Structure 1
């Protein structure tokens, strides 16, 4: 039987995603990742260069997934926000990873920061190309939209307490309707800003 390096990397990546989402960078253990991935610890260091770099690779890959799954365009913003909401609902690990990263890095630099910043600038450029009037407006739109959606999954206990909805799936569906409607209003205001002389 031959060794499949790519399959090993994928198993490590999946095990690391679960481990980091559950325990953060500081609480994650390489030995648990190796056991869950059916790999040895040396493979983790060989393929990813250590725990911090592995955490950064996991976060970047999850962000890449969502960036390829959803395109934010002011002209189709409500639909895009609905897709973004659905993606976060199906992949709650990204919110957990970002919260762990925020807790552990604070306002300091994060692994892969330059690459991630370029990716966000690309989204801002896309919003500008789609008609938003200036870079600060596009930046604010992107940050607001991401927060509007992600907050629903960052604090499920607050969602439950405020909405007083015993069925979590109904609460998520209710929040989806609200964020899509807010996106529609935001898109209309953005369209008005674009059409103003």
Structure 2
């Protein structure tokens, strides 16, 4: 029997998304992931080294997907916040994965893929500030932090919605 390594990895990652989003890293069980994927749990260790390795790869893929689908637009930070909000609403499991990562690894533990994406975004904001395309009233990191956190506000605040996020960022930029 010929094994399709990439197809097996894809099945494991798909099954792991639901498991980790539901139970976090500590609560997830490799036997449930393997069963849902229709694979032997030894494949998790063969392809990802550990449950934590599987989680790390899954989180990287999910972050990369959002980074690619929602590119930074420094000259339209309110629109960027709204598009991030929409992306998180379409794929809420990413926010859960990120939350579990921070809860189980410490709030300062940023996945490398997220840190790298964030560095590029800060550089884009700083460049736009230098060119006078956006406000320089805040340093680039603080401004991006505010915009990104506004985009996830509605997921922890019941009365927040996309329009509130966009209006709030517009006010922030105008001040």
TM bin (shorter chain): 0.7 to 0.9
What is aligned with 1:148? Answer: 150
Retained in 2: the 8 A contact 1:75–1:187? no
Give the stretch that moved more between structures: 124-133 or 17-26: 124-133
Q: Which runs of 5+ in 2 are unaligned?
A: none
Q: Are the counterparts in 2 of residues 73 and 130 from structure 1 also a CA contact under 8 Å?
A: no
Residue by residue over 1:40-68, the C-alpha shift from the partner in whole angstroms, topping out at 9 and shown as x without a partner, is 11111111111111111111111111111
**Offset of residue 4 of structure 1:** 1.9
Deviation at 1:176, TM superposition (A): 0.4
Displacement of 1:108 in angstroms is 5.5
Equivalent residue number for residue 70 of structure 2: 70
* Residue 129 (structure 1) aligned with residue 127 (structure 2): yes
Give the aligned partner of residue 95 of structure 2.
Answer: 95
CA gap 1:75/1:108 in 2 versus in 1, 3 angstroms: closer
Give 1:120 shift.
Answer: 1.4
- Paired residues in the alignment total 170
TM-score normalized with structure 2 length: 0.87
Using the TM superposition, give the Cα deviation of residue 140 of structure 1 relative to its aligned residue in structure 2, in angstroms.
Answer: 1.0
1:156-180 Cα shifts (integer Å, max 9, x gaps): xx51xxx3xxxxxxxxxx6101111
The whole-number CA distance in structure 1 between the counterparts of 2:163 and 2:154 is 12
Matches of 1:75 and 1:118 in 2, distance apart? Answer: 21
Q: Which residue of 1 aligns with 2:60?
A: 60
- List runs of 5+ in structure 1 lacking aligned partners: 164-173, 190-197
Any residues of structure 2 matched to 1:1-197 within 5 Å, and which?
2-107=2-107, 109=109, 113-131=111-129, 137-153=139-155, 155=156, 158-159=157-158, 163=159, 175-189=161-175
Distance 1:138 1:122, change over 3 A: same
| 1:14–1:99 CA distance, 2 compared to 1 (3 A) | same
Q: Aligned to 1:130, what secondary structure does the other structure show?
A: helix
Which whole-Å CA distance do the structure 1 matches of 2:152 and 2:113 have between them? 21
Whole-Å separation in 2 of the counterparts to 1:137 and 1:42:
48
Per-residue deviation, 1:133: 7.1
